[in-house]
Amino acid sequence: MSIQEAVKSYTDELLALRRDFHAHPELGFQEFRTSRKIEQYLKSLGLEPMKVSTTGVVALLKGRTDNGPVLLMRADMDALPVDEQTGLPFSSEHNGLMHACGHDAHMSMLLTAARILTEMRDSFDGTIKFVFQPNEEIAGAQVMIDDGVLENPKVDAAMGIHIWSPLPSGTIGIKSGAVTSSMDVFKVTIKGRGGHTGYPDSAVDPVICAAAVVQQVQTIQTRLVSPMKPIALMFGRIAGGTKNNIIPDTVELEGTIRYLFATKPGSPDNPTDKFKRMVTDICNVYGCTCSFEFNHENDAVVNDPTMTVVAYDVAKGIVGETNVVEHASMACEDFAAFGDHVPAVFAFIGTANETVGSNYPHHNPRFTIDEGTLPIGVEFLVEAALRYFAGKR
């Protein structure tokens, strides 16, 4: 039986798994039911799943010999605090919670791949570490790494996929280098001196200073960091003042700095360093002072060139060369934490199909997937694992 036929024979089970996960969404580190179901399924394959990081599940599959490399294959498990409005018959049974990012699809695809790879264990040399990871939306990968998921046995490479509504059904997005963004979240408090709007010269106006900040920092990309390095510097909240004729003392600006390349604080191309310097200088010009709060939420997922070739060749065989697209996103993905330690590849499985309503953005209450693309993801995982081991012989 070919891999494609094997996937086809398990399609009913694949859809049932996805719909069951979809109906029972759970937030990060609270994926208790989800975790139990994954454990039961893996046990039914004869594997010995272990709990890691509260609700995470890890299982090893040894191939023909276990002296080959160890490949980590990861699916994320968490849902979002979103009120589902899809009207699907298997909609969320948990009020205010929804699998609005597609992690239900990831778990069901990796479980089905685990079934097929277990049946094929005599055809590869090495070990697969199946990792079901909690709390992707808030950096759960790092918690699993801190809890030792890359050790015993030591992982040599990692692979992950995301079902992806920005790409049409029947396509797979793969690219070497950065494919999801690094993100720093910021809060800037600009301090002036309040007063009467009829006597602006007697006050120090933080509002006009804030306006200059919002405009000027947009020049960081091109003038201070190469135009070839994508940056999205966005303000999501501006707050200050109490009444139309009062100049306030302070204005608060909050937002995100996303960048699609690997950099560290102190590096010449670090956009957050540039932001801090420019905002400080603008405040000086306007006679204001400022204070900052930063939080680095994610690194960029940077695809390893060799792993990308493996994934690209496999994708080409599944959907055809013209349907393999170069794709990267300013969204964040905590899979980056695995790629910080071992060669890794992360691919996007296109799922937008207007006829089934799967063209809403991720995290939207109407987000859904084209279930017809689930078998593509399973086939990709199985073939990519086998191709990886074959390349290491």
Picking from 384, 393, 391, the residue whose alpha carbon sits closest to that of residue 349 is: 384
CA distance 248 to 204: 9
DSSP class per residue in 239-308: EE-SSTTEE-SEEEEEEEEEESS---TTSTT-HHHHHHHHHHHHHHHTT-EEEEEEEEEEPPPEE-HHHH
Write down the least CB distance from residue 381 to Zn ion, Å.
16
Between 105 and 260, CB nearer to Zn ion: 105
Between 47 and 144, CB nearer to Zn ion: 144
Write down the least CB distance from residue 363 to Zn ion, Å.
6
Between 101 and 141, CB nearer to Zn ion: 101
CA distance 120 to 189: 58
**Closest chain position to Zn ion (CB):** 101
| Residue showing tokens 């890359």 | 150
- Per DSSP, helices labelled H in the chain are 3-9, 11-23, 32-44, 103-119, 140-146, 206-216, 271-285, 305-319, 336-339, 374-392
Between 143 and 217, CB nearer to Zn ion: 143
Write down the least CB distance from residue 119 to Zn ion, Å.
29
Between 238 and 330, CB nearer to Zn ion: 330
Helix 374-392 to helix 305-319 angle, to the nearest 10 degrees? 130
Beta carbons of 379 and 3 less than 8 angstroms apart: yes
Residues 76-115, mask of contacts with Zn ion (x by CB under 5 A)? -------------------------x--------------
Between 101 and 347, CB nearer to Zn ion: 101
Q: Which long-range contacts (CB under 8 A, 24 or more apart) does 304-309 make?
A: 304/157, 304/176, 304/339, 304/343, 304/344, 304/345, 305/176, 306/343, 307/157, 307/159, 307/343, 307/344, 307/345, 307/388, 308/174, 308/175, 308/176, 308/345
Write down the least CB distance from residue 178 to Zn ion, Å.
17
Between 101 and 207, CB nearer to Zn ion: 101
What's the DSSP call for residue 221? I
Subset of 227-286 contacting Zn ion (CB under 5 A): none
Write down the least CB distance from residue 103 to Zn ion, Å.
6
Question: Is 61 an interacting residue with respect to Zn ion (CB under 5 A)?
Answer: no
Residues 150-179, mask of contacts with Zn ion (x by CB under 5 A)? ------------------------------
Binding footprint of Zn ion, residue count (CB under 5 A): 1
CA distance 81 to 69: 38
Beta carbons of 369 and 358 less than 8 angstroms apart: yes
Write down the least CB distance from residue 183 to Zn ion, Å.
13
Write down the least CB distance from residue 5 to Zn ion, Å.
30
Write down the least CB distance from residue 78 to Zn ion, Å.
9
Between 81 and 391, CB nearer to Zn ion: 81
Between 35 and 127, CB nearer to Zn ion: 35
Enumerate binding residues for Zn ion (CB under 5 A): 101
